Structure 1
Amino acid sequence: MTTITEPDTHHDALASVRRSRDRRPSRWLFTLLIGAIAIAINIPLLNAILVSMKPDGEIARNPIGLPQNATLDHYANVLYASGYDFPKFFVNSAAIAIGTVILVLVIAVPATYAIVRLGFGGRWIIDSASGLRLLPAIFFVVPFFILFSNLGLQDSIPGLILANTFLNLPLAIILLAAGLRDIPTEVEEAGSVDGAGIFRTLYSIVLPMLASTVVAVAVLVFIFSWNDYLFALVLSSSNATPVTLGASNFVTSTGIRWGDISAASFLSTLPPLLFAVFAQRYLVSGLSAGAVKG
């Protein structure tokens, strides 16, 4: 006679608990390691915050460490001091970053759809975009300076928008192409059967399914455009000065005002930081598009 034994569920539960306990030390170690790396990476930002709250004399005596006599004078200088128009610099940065995001998405979304789904140009366009993104930005500075000087776009917000669009467009195409390949073509075929044309298929069917990748592209383009310093240094002088370049106004002939520079730097990091935090969920899902194939 054959005896059928029931699985020992109690033994399996105990084994599962033991395995979970065995993994706990490694998880704690991994968490501590990631925390240490995060702190090390953010040391410059943390030190800038501390320096921005120290009086000038204390900065000279103790540039590293907690402030003994905390003050907000440096923030008052940044926001209200004569000769430093921080609100204008802030508006310029916002206009440049938002304008670049809009222009990049307007160009990249239909261009990527034409490349990936309609076969326009072939695979070499994606490869060329990847290679173009690897080139250093300084490679394009002199040609842009000559071109914009002749076109009357020097020291203008539209000029900086065009320059940042050129720099960030390859990244947008690469990310959107990866996200688009994750969308099954059967969905688009069903829309075409119902009478949807190419543009309606793109904007009514594909674009909502590509929303997380689009948001990720928008966040990255916004951050890169906001943080741009090289193009702003070469292509602007006064009218289109962003906050990244405006902080250099505190380097004067009489010395470097480290407290004011730190306050300006910290204030300039808040918009992209908050933008990235609120869009973190879309940023992670958008950047992971195309990474895993089932």
Structure 2
Amino acid sequence: MTALAQNTTKTTATVSPPTKAPRRRRAWLFTIAAGIIALVVNVPLLNAVLVSFKPDGEIAKNPISLPTSPTLDHYANVLYASGYDFPRFFANSAMIAVGTVLLVLIIAIPATYAIVRLNFGGRWIISSASGLRLLPAIFFVVPFFILFSTLGLADTIPGLIAANTFLNLPLAIILLSSALGDIPQEIEEAAAVDGASIYRTLGSIVLPLLAPTMVAVSVLVFIFSWNDYLFALVLSTSDATPVTLGAANFITSTGIRWGDISAASVLSTLPPLLFAVFAQRYLVSGLSSGAVKG
């Protein structure tokens, strides 16, 4: 028995644990590949940042080089130049994006609950929403222009909120329905047994469990509404002009002021970028809801 134990000990000692080198190597390769892809994707943004700090002479000479004489003149033109009301454009974009997020959530949450839990209208509504989201926005521009001109909503903040809500509502319903399907229905049935109404169940039980997905929906809808250009171009002229369209005011009859356009683009990119960064944890968990089932 002693000899057998010694042989077993020697055999165990000679077996080395599996090395972690291949796993670490794969992790480093994945990190490097992701970094290269992120750099390539963000080249336009990085170039806009560089151009926004260059004098006009350097932009005309070499637009992709580092600025040798950095200047803040373009940012000063964006914020304080006469005839260009950037603060108003910025406020319009903020009201449109926030209003769209609120309206989308107000409509999508009860609608999704009625479809998934109460079988209202059937599951075909989800499929219809998916198909509607795949249609290009240009498909709706002319009907919206005719309708909003008739109703007096053209060139108004409520009109652009309604247009962006229509465009982003299918996405919200798709994401919320996937997350709602992961919530055990027994929790709601137990609340109903205790006497809770549908509205109490929705407000006290379902909404807290849907919070990560609601944040993800809010971030995506905010970004899409903030970055909207097509509806803003067709449905606004002056009063409801957002920053995406206001930057085009630097295209004049005497030339294109690339430095001012780049500075306006950089400033207009900050709100959705910061919003997405601070809500990144909820964005990832919300988008992954319903991805793995079983």
Structure 1 length-normalised TM: 0.96
CA distance in 1, matches of 2:130, 2:33: 32
Residue 22 of structure 1 deviates from its aligned partner by 1.8
RMSD of Structure 2 on Structure 1 (CA): 1.6
Aligned residue number for residue 37 of structure 1: 37
Distance in 2 between the 1:105 and 1:10 partners?
61
Q: Distance in 2 between matches of 1:202 and 1:189?
A: 12
The whole-number CA distance in structure 2 between the counterparts of 1:87 and 1:250 is 15
- State the one-letter code of the partner of 2:256: I
Moved over 4 A (4+): 3-12
Aligned to 2:102: 102
Q: Is the alpha carbon distance of 1:202 and 1:66 closer, same or farther for their aligned partners in structure 2, counting shifts above 3 Å?
A: same
Other-structure match for 1:253: 253
Change in Cα spacing, 1:10 to 1:138, as seen in structure 2 (3 Å) is farther
Q: What is the match of residue 198 of structure 2?
A: 198
Structure 2 unmatched ranges of 5 or more:
none
Matches within 5 A, 1:148-167: 148-167=148-167
User: Given the superposition, is the C-alpha separation of residues 181 and 6 from structure 1 closer, same or farther in structure 2, using an over 3 Å criterion?
Assistant: farther
Matches within 5 A, 1:244-283: 244-283=244-283
Give the letter for the 2:43 counterpart. I
Match of 1:242? Answer: 242
Aligned residue number for residue 15 of structure 1? 17
Aligned-partner residue type, residue 107 of structure 1: I
Partner Cα separation in structure 1 for residue 193 and residue 180 of structure 2: 20
- CA distance in 1 between counterparts of 2:190 and 2:199 reads 15
Structure 1 unaligned runs (5+)? none
Matched with 2:212 is: 212
What is the letter of the counterpart of residue 27 of structure 2? R
Quote how far apart the aligned CAs of 1:15 are.
Answer: 1.9
1:68 and 2:53 are equivalent in the alignment: no
Q: C-alpha separation between the residues in 2 aligned to 1:214 and 1:11?
A: 54
CA distance in 2 between partners of 1:140 and 1:63 (Å): 37
Q: Report SS of the residue matched to 2:77.
A: helix
Per-residue CA distance 1:15-37 (angstroms, 9 max, x = gap): 23x1x112122211111000000
How high is the sequence identity, in percent, across the aligned residues? 77
Identify if the C-alpha distance between structure 1 residues 98 and 11 changes in structure 2 by more than 3 Å, giving closer, same or farther.
farther
Cα shift at 1:62 = 1.0
**Matches of 1:6 and 1:202 in 2, distance apart?**
62
Match of 2:131 in 1: 131
What are the Cα deviations for residues 124-177 of structure 1, in whole angstroms up to 9, with x where unaligned?
A: 100000000000000000000000000000100000000000000000000000
- The residue aligned with 2:117 is 117
How far, CA to CA, are the matches of 2:247 and 2:51 in structure 1? 15
Whether 1:57 and 2:70 are equivalent positions in the alignment is: no
Partner SS for 1:15: coil
Cα offset, 1:9, TM superposition: 7.2
Q: Deviations over 1:106-127 (max 9, x none)?
A: 0000000000000001111000
Distance 1:60 1:154 in 2: 38
What SS does the corresponding residue of 1:67 show, helix, strand or coil?
Answer: coil
The alignment's TM-score, normalised by the length of structure 2, stands at: 0.96
Which aligned pairs between 1:165-176 and structure 2 lie closer than 5 A? 165-176=165-176
CA distance, structure 2, for counterparts of residue 181 and residue 229 of structure 1? 34
Superposed CA deviations along residues 172-210 of structure 1, whole A, max 9, x for unmatched, are 000000000110001101110111011110111000001
AA matched with 1:208? P
AA partner of residue 49 (structure 1): V
